[in-house]
């Protein structure tokens, strides 16, 4: 009976990366990390190295630099993952700059072999591999010598059972060097600058023996190091990726909104797992409605999470939300960054939802969200929303999103993002003018797969939140902001004896 | 001032290497042997050129307080290091015993400070610990 080789997958130590890799870095593999200068290749390599290395399974980092190792050490130790106490023990740094300067690849190979034999590392890093390619190109028979070097290096390191990373530049124009072919894994890092924002992107172009997450993912470099944000994929059943819009989970459970009268308008509450869009102009009380939604959840033992995009602290948050956040009943994700990717928000949100076992999510607001997303992603904002809603739906959370409506009364719109069709339910709030007075009205426009009220009801905002009042029977054209008295008598009046 | 615990360790190491002798020649030999050890520890990590540049700067700065050290240190090629250390040893050996000890100690202090400023005191200490932990000259073969 034969058994396939058991390939252990090593956790990379880079948050989010293992999900993209398909489980981690395959043990004894040779992986290339490529990308333009400054994109974070060495940082990624160091972060994995400090995560992998132990005294029993040490790592060796061969520096073959264009930049002096002194500078590399100076800047890399700014990251939280850098452990000076591991240098010389679990992590060995070996400078090969002098060796490569001579251009003798055989000597470089011999030096690497000598160090590996002496130190018996479980992990080997060579940074930057580009220096080796350049050295080979300088030689008369450089191409052949490079192939021989790569073959010997790959064979030797495999024989010594090391998990190896070669850090280098992108494939040169005119064809990839042989190393791109012989490598088991290929991680490509890129960065794009659009106006005032920079977005870093990551692709796993190859990882033998495992299913990687395809496509472009974003990552961020902070003082903690690299954090990757796997692109949200949409699955309609385990393992099957689909491009169809997400269907809300069939649920007979209805959840209370926390606003008296609103549940009845929704047909008995909002179906659990639905996404709800609350659209209205500035000051119409969208955040107050969202607050009531979260507070009702807390009252019923359902934790919530709110994603706010405020440029100043507590710009739009209500004291009730602040209190619930302080009490740990509601998780707050607030960002003032203007270079986010949708995947970054989704990842933070998913972690928070899972951590708190949250049932209710509020995104306040889509307008702020669009501003926070890096310009390069704004063109895909609608698609991004679609993926986010799908990801949240798969977690079984009920999502309330607010959307700013322009004070435009000549047409009837629910969202400037065309996001209305993405959501399962829509509530619209409007200002109307009646008898030289400004009043607020609310209506349920849509609850997918459910009967709901079509009434237009007045509401007031007071100290206790939203109070929904009577419906307005004797006017028409309310949602266009120019109500006029209906020529027909109110329904209640019809049928009365004259 | 030197970095962390190396302050005392440098003096102790030089003293041990000079076998307690107040003779300038003994101090010169001790300093050169210690520099060779420092190079052995650092060159694999920061590169031979990295070490040479830092040594050249330390000697340059030390020569302000000890002009007899000279300020003609060339660090253009790593291969010059042996010649550089020969010259350093000769100049220390020709100095008064007290000045020889002070200058040697000061140069190591400056070197340590510069290294720590670049890569941080914890890493600098970690890398040079084996040099300062040296118990006695006989305990380790001094590489040439």
Q: Exposed (0-12), middle (13-18) or buried (19+): which is A333, by Cβ within 10 Å?
A: middle
Is the Cβ pair A87, B127 closer than 8 Å? yes
Confidence at residue B127, expressed as pLDDT on a 0 to 100 scale: 92
Calculate mean pLDDT across residues B116-127.
Answer: 90
- Going by C-alpha positions, the residue among A221, A226, A202 that lies closest to residue A213 is A202
Chain B closest-CA separation from residue A13 CA (Å) = 22
- Provide mean pLDDT across the span A106-123: 90
The residue in chain B having the minimum alpha-carbon distance to the alpha carbon of residue A97 is: B47
Give the nearest partner residue to B123 out of A77, A97, A98, using CB atoms.
Answer: A77
Summarised one tens digit per residue, pLDDT across range A197-210 is 678 999 998 898 88
d(CA A118, CA A418): 63
Q: Taking CB atoms and an 8 Å limit, are A87 and B46 in contact across chains? A: no
Looking at every residue in chain B, the average pLDDT score rounds to 84
Chain B residue whose CA is closest to A95: B44
Distance CA A456, CA A439 (A): 12
- A chain contacts of residue B43, beta-carbon cutoff 8 Å: 95
- Answer whether B119 touches A (CB < 8 Å): yes
Is 0.80 topped by the overall pTM?
A: no
**Least confident stretch, A109-113, A232-236, B63-67:** A232-236
Please indicate whether residue A471 or residue A442 has the higher confidence score (pLDDT): A442
A53: distance to nearest CA of chain B, Å?
17
Among A34-38, A336-340, A397-401, the range scoring the smallest mean pLDDT is A336-340
Give the separation between CA B124 and CA B99, rounded to whole angstroms.
27
Q: What is the DSSP string of A138-152?
A: TSTTHHHHHHHHHHH
CA pair distance A418, A422, nearest whole angstrom: 8
Closest to B95 (Cα-Cα) out of B22, B36, B39: B22
Q: Considering only CB atoms, which chain B residues are within 8 Å of A60?
A: none
Residue with tokens 């709800």: A276
Question: What is the C-alpha radius of gyration for chain B, rounded to an integer number of angstroms?
Answer: 14
Among B44, B48, B123, beta carbon nearest to A73 = B123
Question: Strands (DSSP E) along A3-56, which ranges?
Answer: 9-10, 25-26, 30-35
Contact A303/A358 with Cβ under 8 angstroms? yes
pLDDT at B134: 57
Contacts of B44 in chain A (CB under 8 A): 93-95
Checking if the pLDDT of A494 tops 50, the result is no
Q: How far apart are the first and last CA of chain A?
A: 95
**Closest CA of chain B from A191, distance in Å:** 27
Nearest-Cα residue of chain A relative to residue B118: A74
Cα nearest neighbour of A66 on chain B: B47
**A94 in reach of chain B (CB within 8 A):** yes
Q: Is B118 on the interface with A (CB under 8 A)?
A: yes
Structure tokens, A158? 């495999």
**Does B22 contact A at CB distance below 8 Å?**
no
Query: What pLDDT is stored for residue A490 in this prediction?
Result: 54
- Any chain B CB within 8 A of the CB of A65? yes
- Check residue B78 and give its pLDDT: 47
B78 contacts A68? CB cut-off 8 A? no
Nearest-Cα distance to chain A for B80, in Å, is: 14
Residue pair A399/A363 in contact by the 8 Å Cβ criterion:
yes
Cα–Cα distance for residue pair A182/A389, rounded to 1 Å: 40
Q: Which of A69, A77, A97 sits opposite B120 (nearest CB)?
A: A77
Q: Cβ separation of B46 and A73 shorter than 8 Å? A: yes
Confidence class for position B94, pLDDT limits 50, 70, 90: very high
pLDDT for A336 beyond 70: no
Average pLDDT over residues B121-141: 74
Chain A neighbors of B126, CB-CB under 8 A: 84-85, 87-88
Task: Tell me if A93 and B45 make a contact (CB, 8 A cut-off).
Answer: yes
pLDDT band at A397 (very low <50, low <70, confident <90, very high): very high
Tell me the average pLDDT across A404-418: 62
Q: In chain A, what residues touch B127 (CB-CB under 8 Å)?
A: 87-88
Question: Per mean pLDDT, which range of A218-232, A477-491, B10-24 is the poorest?
Answer: A477-491
The residue in chain B having the minimum alpha-carbon distance to the alpha carbon of residue A84 is B123
Q: How far apart are CA A93 and CA A288, in angstroms?
A: 57
Query: Lowest mean pLDDT: which of A7-21, A396-410, A463-477, A479-493?
Result: A479-493
- Of A73, A85, A94, which has the smallest distance from its Cβ to B44's Cβ? A94
Contact B126 A94 (CB under 8 A): no
Lowest mean pLDDT among A91-105, A109-123, B83-97: A91-105
Averaged pLDDT of chain A: 82
Which residue would you say has higher pLDDT here, A138 or A479?
A138
Q: Which residues of A touch B118 (CB under 8 A)?
A: 70, 73-74
Query: CB-side exposure of A33: number of CA atoms within 13 Å?
Result: 24
- Asked whether the beta carbons of residue A73 and residue B48 sit closer than 8 angstroms, the reply is no
Q: What is the pLDDT of residues A266-317, one digit of tens each?
A: 999 999 999 999 988 888 889 899 999 999 999 999 999 998 876 555 555 6
* pLDDT for residue A496: 44
A77 contact B CB<8A: yes
Q: Does B40 touch chain A (CB under 8 A)?
A: no
Higher-scoring residue by pLDDT: A128, B35 = B35
For residues A147 and A226, give the distance between their C-alpha atoms in angstroms, rounded to a whole number.
Answer: 32
Higher pLDDT, A389 or B28: B28
Of A415-424, B65-74, B119-128, which range is least confident? A415-424
Mean predicted confidence (pLDDT) in A333-351: 78
Distance from CA of B100 to the nearest CA of A (A): 30
A-chain residues within 8 Å CB-CB of B120?
74, 77, 84
Sequence length of chain B is: 144
pLDDT in tens, A220-251: 999 999 999 888 665 444 444 444 445 555 56
Mutation for B interface: A70, A77, A94, most B CBs within 10 A: A70
Contacts of A84 in chain B (CB under 8 A): 120, 122-123, 126
Answer yes or no: do A73 and B49 touch at CB < 8 A.
no
């Amino acid at each position: 009976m034969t058994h396939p080789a058991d390939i252990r997958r090593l956790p990379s130590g880079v948050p989010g990366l293992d999900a993209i890799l398909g489980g981690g870095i395959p043990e004894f593999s040779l992986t290339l990390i490529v990308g333009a200068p400054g994109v974070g290749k060495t940082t990624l390599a160091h972060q994995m190295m400090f995560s992998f290395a132990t005294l029993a399974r040490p790592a060796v980092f061969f520096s073959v630099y264009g930049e002096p190792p002194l500078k590399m050490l100076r800047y890399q130790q700014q990251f939280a993952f850098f452990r000076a106490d591991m240098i010389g023990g679990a992590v060995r740094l070996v400078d090969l700059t002098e060796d490569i300067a001579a251009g003798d690849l055989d000597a470089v190979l011999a030096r690497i072999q000598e160090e590996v034999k002496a130190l018996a590392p479980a992990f080997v890093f060579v940074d930057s591999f580009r220096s080796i390619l350049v050295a080979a190109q300088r030689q008369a028979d450089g191409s052949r010598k490079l192939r021989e070097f790569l073959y010997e290096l790959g064979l030797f390191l495999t024989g010594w059972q090391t998990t190896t990373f070669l850090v280098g530049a992108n494939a040169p124009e005119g064809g990839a060097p042989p190393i791109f072919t012989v490598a088991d894994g290929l991680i490509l890092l890129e960065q794009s600058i659009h106006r005032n924002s920079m977005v870093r992107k990551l692709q796993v172009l190859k990882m033998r023996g495992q299913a990687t997450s395809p496509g472009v993912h974003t990552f961020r470099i902070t003082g903690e190091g690299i954090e990757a944000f796997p692109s949200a994929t949409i699955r309609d059943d385990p393992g099957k990726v689909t491009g169809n819009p997400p269907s809300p989970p069939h649920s007979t459970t209805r959840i209370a909104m926390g606003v008296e009268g609103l549940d009845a308008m929704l047909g008995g509450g909002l179906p659990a797992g639905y996404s709800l869009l609350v659209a209205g102009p500035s000051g119409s009380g969208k955040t107050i409605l969202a607050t009531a939604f979260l507070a009702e959840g807390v009252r019923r033992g359902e934790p919530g999470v709110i994603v706010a995009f405020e440029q100043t602290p507590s710009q739009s948050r209500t004291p009730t939300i602040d209190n619930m956040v302080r009490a740990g009943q509601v998780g707050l994700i607030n960002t003032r960054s203007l270079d986010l990717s949708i995947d970054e928000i989704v990842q933070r949100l998913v972690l928070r939802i899972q951590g708190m076992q949250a049932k209710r999510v509020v995104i306040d607001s889509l307008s702020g969200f669009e501003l926070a997303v890096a310009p390069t992603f704004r063109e895909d904002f609608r698609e991004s929303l679609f993926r986010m809603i799908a990801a949240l739906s798969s977690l079984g959370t009920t999502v309330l999103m607010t959307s700013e409506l322009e004070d435009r009364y000549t047409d009837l719109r629910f969202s400037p993002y065309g996001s209305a069709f993405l959501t399962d339910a829509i509530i619209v709030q409007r200002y109307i003018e009646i008898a030289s007075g400004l009043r607020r009205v609310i209506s349920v426009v849509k609850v997918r797969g459910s009967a709901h009220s079509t009434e237009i009801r007045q509401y007031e905002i007071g100290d206790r939140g939203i109070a929904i009042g009577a419906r307005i029977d004797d006017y028409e054209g309310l949602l266009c902001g120019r109500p006029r008295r209906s020529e027909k008598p109110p329904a209640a009046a019809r049928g009365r004896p004259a | 001032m030197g970095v962390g615990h190396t302050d005392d360790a440098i003096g102790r190491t030089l003293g041990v290497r000079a076998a307690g002798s107040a003779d300038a020649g003994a101090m010169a030999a001790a300093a050169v042997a210690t520099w060779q050890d420092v190079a052995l520890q650092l060159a694999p990590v920061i590169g031979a050129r990295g070490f040479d540049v830092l040594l050249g700067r330390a000697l340059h700065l030390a020569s302000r307080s000890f002009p007899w050290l000279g300020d003609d240190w060339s660090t253009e090629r790593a291969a010059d290091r042996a010649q550089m250390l020969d010259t350093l040893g000769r100049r220390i050996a020709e100095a008064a015993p007290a000045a020889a000890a002070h200058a040697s100690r000061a140069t190591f202090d400056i070197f340590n400070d510069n290294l720590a400023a670049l890569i941080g005191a914890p890493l600098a200490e970690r890398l040079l610990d084996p040099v300062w932990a040296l118990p006695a000259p006989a305990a380790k073969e001094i590489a040439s």
